[in-house]
Amino acid sequence: MSAATATAALRLALVGSPNCGKTALFNQLTGSRQKVANYAGVTVERKEGRFHAPSGREYALLDLPGAYSLDAASLDEAVTRDVCRGFYPGEPTPDVLVCVVDATNLRLHLRFALEVRELARQVGRPMVLAVNMMDAAQRRGIAVDLGVLEAELGVPVVPTVAVRHDGAAELVGALDRTVQHPQPPRAGLIDASPAGDALHAETRRLLALAVDMPRRTAKVDDTLDRLLLHPALGLLSLAVVMFLIFQAVYAWATPVMDLIDAGTVWLGEAVGGALPEGPLNSLLVDGIIAGLGGVIIFLPQIVILFAFILALEESGYLPRAAFLLDRLMAGAGLSGRSFIPLLSSFACAIPGIMATRSIQDPRDRLATIMVAPLMTCSARLPVYALLIGAFIPAQSVGIFNLQGLVLFALYAAGILSALVVAWIMKKWRRDKSEHALMLELPSYRLPHPRDLLIGLWERAWIFLRRVGGIILALTVLLWFLLSFPGAPEGATGPAIDYSFAGRIGHALTAVFAPIGFNWQICIALIPGMAAREVAVSSLATVYALQAADEAAATEALTPIITDTWSLATALSLLVWFIYAPQCISTLATIKRETGSWRQVAIATGYLFALAYLAAFVTYRVALALGAG
């Protein structure tokens, strides 16, 4: 090792199968000294942190994506393999490979450790094996002879407990010794190719020599699985869990979102009052502050959703939920892992799309991202409330309320459409092979608060950093279209009627007249692109109403649209909002998560096509039935 290398931070690659506690160990070593980004050209997350050993040596630790094999079956596994081999662009070859295995599941994880040992030998790098969760193994009566493992594998083997404060001390000591006297692992006596039967045989031999396991699974795991994986009781339990998540994302976030909204209004009033009237005032208040507020207001939903997802994942329940629903979702071309992202999209498509990162299969992840906007998010509710209250009588249909039935039908239409679109995507894609859902059902365990807090901080920062910039730019563009040119001298109509957005709205009437939209609706659709719920206040502006808030705008709008719109137009607009991608935040999130403007264009195109077709059919059928 050169002198330059000895003084620089040594690069460690942390590798391991999912659920081995690798990320918890990474958090234990690096704490808050982490950077999260994406690998170049892909959406796979890249996490790097730094720490200092008691010896004074600095290490740069790279937390590689979880992998079951180096014979890559997914993009995550390909990234892990290529980084370890030094073949990934912009990523130097790690100085040391640290392979993490779960002491309670060595039957699965030792096989991967043998592959990593073979790769370390090929690239000429030392390897350290960290046997994690030793405390859980002791509680289950599992005895692991680390000395035998070290002698047989020819690499340093150390115990770790990632959830304890000093649980990685022996690993750090082993790293110091390894970098001072680097020795690549001794060549194995087997052909460690991932497909070789010899690899399985060697795994069984090591288990027989070094591991004494009273039973393959914990008694508490078997007891819980009898309930949670039961065909009927398991689905009922999952429904209860999902109901709680849905209520939390929808209801718990509301007070914080109201505070953010009030803070945005206060800041806008303060800045607006401090500056003279003019374009700069309007840009700052209506463009930048309102634009940032429109992004940050989603943050409480993001945090609550990911708190549940991280907790379910850490507890070991999330793979079981995916297993329960896989057969049902597979009929529509999705997988069980798609369920939670789609369910969370009922609150907001943005956290739903971000939650697709738990889906390992790139095809299933893309399909889930593309249909997530079809879930009826909470932003549609103001529009639904306005139109249903104005045109649907509050009468009973048996034991049900007619207005409630219409709202349920709108939700059901979105769900059914998402399943149909996913099924069509499955039929059209080139690769028609079936990718079986391969899941490890880890032991149940309590999530560690430190890992949850670090994970939540990462998700919140990623959301603000990735989505905020493009949303702010597009919101400022919308402000410009709505504000210029101003109304001419002596104008009697609202200023929006004379703006670029107003002119576009009048021009769009020729396009939207076949589905019953008037020029006021067309104008309201333009600012509604910033967020769907803005359409209500935009309609109030178009009709020259001075409403104090959204509720007041709805109340004042109701008698006007009842008198001036036909029932066919109202029904057409309701159906339009089921499909139309009138949310820049969602489109920006699709761009960030897929890294492709092409996917954004496809999503926008098919959603607008569905919206126009469904609205056209609804309007024409309503007219034929005398609803004009």
Tell me how far apart the alpha carbons of residues 165 and 536 are, in angstroms, rounded to a whole number.
53
In a domain, 434, yes or no: no
Residue 443 inside a domain? The answer is no
**Residue 191, pLDDT score:** 46
User: Which pLDDT belongs to residue 1?
Assistant: 41
Instruction: For the chain, give the mean pLDDT.
Output: 81
Domain termination site, one of 425, 441, 472 = 425
- pLDDT for res 434: 58
Confidence of residue 78 (pLDDT cuts 50, 70, 90): confident
Whole-number pLDDT of residue 193:
46
- pLDDT on residue 5: 41
Q: What percent of the chain has pLDDT over 90?
A: 24
Half-sphere exposure of 367 (CA within 13 A, CB side): 28
Residue 548's pLDDT is: 55
Confidence class for position 469, pLDDT limits 50, 70, 90: low
Pair (174, 206) in one structural domain: yes
Judged against a pLDDT cut of 50, whether residue 403 lies above it is answered with yes
pLDDT at 545 over 80: no
Of the pLDDT bands very low, low, confident and very high (cuts 50, 70, 90), residue 554 is: low
Do 468 and 358 share a structural domain?
Answer: no
User: 321 and 173 share a domain?
Assistant: no
| Residue with more model confidence, 418 or 380 | 418
Whether 396 and 353 share a structural domain: yes
| Residues paired with 58 in a beta bridge | 52
Q: 251 in a domain, yes or no?
A: yes
Q: Does one domain contain both 200 and 297?
A: no
* Percent share of the chain, pLDDT over 70: 85
- What pLDDT, on the 0 to 100 scale, is given for residue 64? 93
- At 235, list the tokens: 């689905």
Residue 149 has pLDDT above 70, yes or no: yes
Segment 42-47 mean pLDDT: 76
Domain end call among 164, 184, 216: 216
Listed ranges 93-102, 296-305, 500-509; the one with the highest mean pLDDT = 93-102
Looking at 425, 453, 476, which one is the last position of a domain? 425
- Record the tokens describing residue 488, joined without a space: 């001419």
Q: Give the per-residue pLDDT at 474.
A: 64
DSSP string across 47-101? EEEEEE-TTS-EEEEEEPPP-S-SS-SSHHHHHHHHHHHT-STT-PPPSEEEEEE
pLDDT at 530 over 80: no
Condensed to tens digits (0 to 9), the pLDDT of residues 28-41 reads: 999 867 777 766 66
Strands 211-212 and 143-144: antiparallel
**Residue 342: both structure tokens together:** 């789609």
Are 103 and 18 in contact by the 8 Å Cβ rule? The answer is no
Task: Pick 478 or 26 by higher pLDDT.
Answer: 26
Q: How confident is the model at residue 155 (pLDDT cuts 50, 70, 90)?
A: very high
Return the higher-pLDDT residue of 450 and 495. 450
Q: Are residues 54 and 196 in the same domain?
A: yes
> Can you give the residue range of the structural domain that contains 400?
233-425
Q: Give the pLDDT confidence score for residue 61 in this predicted structure.
A: 94
Contact 614, 514 (CB under 8 A): no
Confidence of residue 524 (pLDDT cuts 50, 70, 90): confident
Token output for 187:
């060549």
444 part of a folded domain: no
Q: Strand, coil or helix: what is 212? A: strand
Say if residue 192's pLDDT is above 50: no
pLDDT at 196 over 80: no
293 closest CA partner among 327, 245, 257: 257
Residues 389 and 529 in one domain: no
DSSP, collapsed to helix, strand or coil, labels residue 420 as helix
In the chain, the number of structural domains is 3
Rounded to 5°, angle at Cα 45 from 41 and 47? 120
Per-residue pLDDT tens digits for 93-115: 999 999 999 999 898 899 999 99
Inform me whether the pLDDT recorded for 504 exceeds 80: yes
Whether residues 253 and 376 fall in one domain:
yes
Pairing status of strand 96-102 against strand 10-16: parallel
Average of per-residue pLDDT across 460-479? 69
In this predicted structure, what is the pLDDT of residue 217?
A: 73
Question: What single-letter amino acid sits at 131?
Answer: V
User: What is the per-residue pLDDT for 470?
Assistant: 61
Instruction: Note the pLDDT of residue 354.
Output: 79
User: What's the rounded mean pLDDT across residues 273-301?
Assistant: 77
Tell me, yes or no, whether 372 and 479 share the same domain.
no
pLDDT recorded at residue 461 = 80
Do the Cβ atoms of 564 and 446 come closer than 8 Å? Answer: no
439 located within any domain: no
What's the pLDDT band for 365 if we cut at 50, 70, 90?
confident
Q: How far is CA 250 from the centre of its chain?
A: 17
563 vs 545, higher pLDDT = 563
User: Taking a C-beta distance cutoff of 8 angstroms, is the pair 230, 324 a contact?
Assistant: no
Tell whether 204 and 285 lie within a shared domain: no
pTM of the model: 0.68
Do 90 and 7 fall into the same domain? Answer: yes
- 241 and 200 part of one domain: no
pLDDT of residue 115: 92
